[in-house]
C-alpha cells in the first residue's frame, strides 16, 4: 500500500481553512473529494498542519495511502483535474516511505506574512496582503522580533482556543524583506501555537506604531497573558510557505 506525499498551493480566501468541517468548504475536503473521484472511495489525507479560514498556502504538505501504484505525474494530473474550478492546486507529488507522517515528522514550518505598505488599499491581490497605510519602522520591528527568537513560553501570543499541551515553542528566525511597498515577514519554527504568528506580527506592528522600545517585548513574554500583546492581524496576509522534514 504505497504512501503518497503531496505539496499543495491554495488561495484560502473562499475556504474555511484546511480541516474538514460540516457544511463549510475546506481545503482538505476538496482534495479528499478529488481523490475519491479517482479511486471510487473516500480516504483521509493527513496535512502537516491546519490553517485558519482565509490563510493561504504555497507549500502545505499532506500524505495519504492508496491501494494501487500510480504514476506520480498521472496521479497529480488526475487530482488537479477535479480541482480545476477550485483555488487549490497540487504542485508536487512524491512516493514517500511507508512510515512518513506529514504532521509528526515535520521538523520546520515556515510562514510568511505579507504587508502592502502604501496609502492606497490593494486592488490587485485584494485578499493577499494586509494593508497598512501609515509608515512603519521595519528596523524597530526586526529588533523587537529578535527578542522572540529561541525557546520561550509563548502564552502571551496564544489564542484562548489553542489546544496545544505546552505553550513552549522555539522560533528559529524572524526576518524582514522589503520589495517596493511590499513587506514580507518570514517566521520559522518547528511548530506554532494557535494564532501565534498573527499575534506576533500584530504586536510587532503595534511596537512600530507606538514607537516602543524593542526590549519591552520581553516583559510581554514574561507576563504570559494574551491580553499583554498586540492585536491579531488578519488571516489573508498569512501564507503557509514551506514544511521541511529531516
By CB under 8 A, the residues from 14 to 53 that bind a second copy are: none
122 lines the binding site for a second copy (CB under 8 A): yes
One-character DSSP codes across the chain: --EEEEEEEE-GGGSS-SS-BTTB--HHHHHHHHHHHHHSS----EESS---TT-EEEEEEEEEE-SS---HHHHHHHHHHTTTTTTEEEEEEEEE-TT--TTTTEEEEEEEEEEEESSSPPSTTTTSSEEE-S---HHHHHHHHHTT-EEEE-GGG--TT---S--EEEEEEEEEEEETTEEEEEEEES---TTHHHHHHHHHHHHHHHT--GGGHHHHHHHT-GGGS-PPPPGGGEEEEEEEE-
Query: CB of 10: closest distance to a second copy in angstroms?
Result: 5
Whole-number Å distance between alpha carbons of 237 and 158: 18
71 lines the binding site for a second copy (CB under 8 A): no
Among 83, 132, 136, 217, binds a second copy (CB under 8 A): 83
Among 37, 69, 74, 77, binds a second copy (CB under 8 A): 77
118 lines the binding site for a second copy (CB under 8 A): yes
103 lines the binding site for a second copy (CB under 8 A): no
Is position 181 annotated as part of the catalytic site?
no
200 lines the binding site for a second copy (CB under 8 A): no
SS (H, E, C) 52-70: CCCCEEEEEEEEEECCCCC
Stretch of 97-105, 125-133, 168-176, 197-205 contacting a second copy, by CB under 8 A = 125-133
Among 52, 153, 159, 181, the one annotated catalytic: 52
Among 75, 86, 174, 203, binds a second copy (CB under 8 A): 86
Stretch of 16-24, 73-81, 148-156, 194-202 contacting a second copy, by CB under 8 A = 73-81
Cell of 116: 502592502
If the CB atoms of residues 71 and 139 are measured against a second copy, the closer one turns out to be 71
Query: CB of 121: closest distance to a second copy in angstroms?
Result: 5
134 lines the binding site for a second copy (CB under 8 A): no
Query: Active-site positions?
Result: 52
Q: Which residues of this chain interact with a second copy, rule CB under 8 A?
A: 8-11, 56, 58, 73, 76-77, 80, 83-84, 86-91, 118-126, 128
Amino acid at each position: 500500500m504505497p504512501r503518497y506525499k503531496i505539496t499543495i498551493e491554495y488561495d484560502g480566501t473562499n475556504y474555511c481553512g484546511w480541516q474538514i468541517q460540516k457544511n463549510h468548504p475546506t481545503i482538505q475536503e476538496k482534495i479528499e473529494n478529488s481523490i475519491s473521484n479517482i479511486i471510487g472511495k473516500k480516504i483521509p489525507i493527513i496535512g502537516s498542519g491546519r490553517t485558519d479560514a482565509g490563510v493561504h498556502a504555497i507549500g502545505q504538505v499532506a500524505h495519504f495511502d492508496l491501494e494501487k501504484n500510480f504514476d506520480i505525474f498521472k496521479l497529480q494530473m488526475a487530482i488537479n483535474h477535479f480541482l480545476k474550478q477550485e483555488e487549490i492546486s497540487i504542485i508536487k507529488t512524491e512516493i514517500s516511505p511507508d512510515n512518513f507522517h506529514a504532521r509528526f515528522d515535520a521538523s520546520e514550518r515556515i510562514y510568511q506574512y505579507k504587508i502592502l505598505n502604501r496609502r492606497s488599499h490593494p486592488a490587485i491581490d485584494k485578499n493577499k496582503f494586509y494593508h497598512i497605510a501609515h509608515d512603519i519602522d521595519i528596523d524597530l520591528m526586526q529588533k523587537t522580533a529578535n527578542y522572540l527568537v529561541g525557546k520561550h513560553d509563548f502564552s502571551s501570543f496564544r489564542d484562548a482556543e489553542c489546544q496545544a499541551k505546552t505553550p513552549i515553542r522555539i522560533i528559529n528566525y524572524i526576518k524582514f524583506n522589503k520589495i517596493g511597498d511590499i513587506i514580507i515577514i518570514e517566521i520559522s519554527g518547528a511548530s506554532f501555537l494557535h494564532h501565534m504568528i498573527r499575534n506576533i506580527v500584530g504586536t510587532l506592528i503595534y511596537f512600530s506604531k507606538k514607537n516602543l522600545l524593542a526590549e519591552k517585548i520581553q516583559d510581554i513574554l514574561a507576563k504570559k497573558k494574551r491580553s499583554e500583546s498586540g492585536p491579531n492581524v488578519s488571516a489573508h496576509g498569512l501564507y503557509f510557505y514551506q514544511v521541511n522534514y529531516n
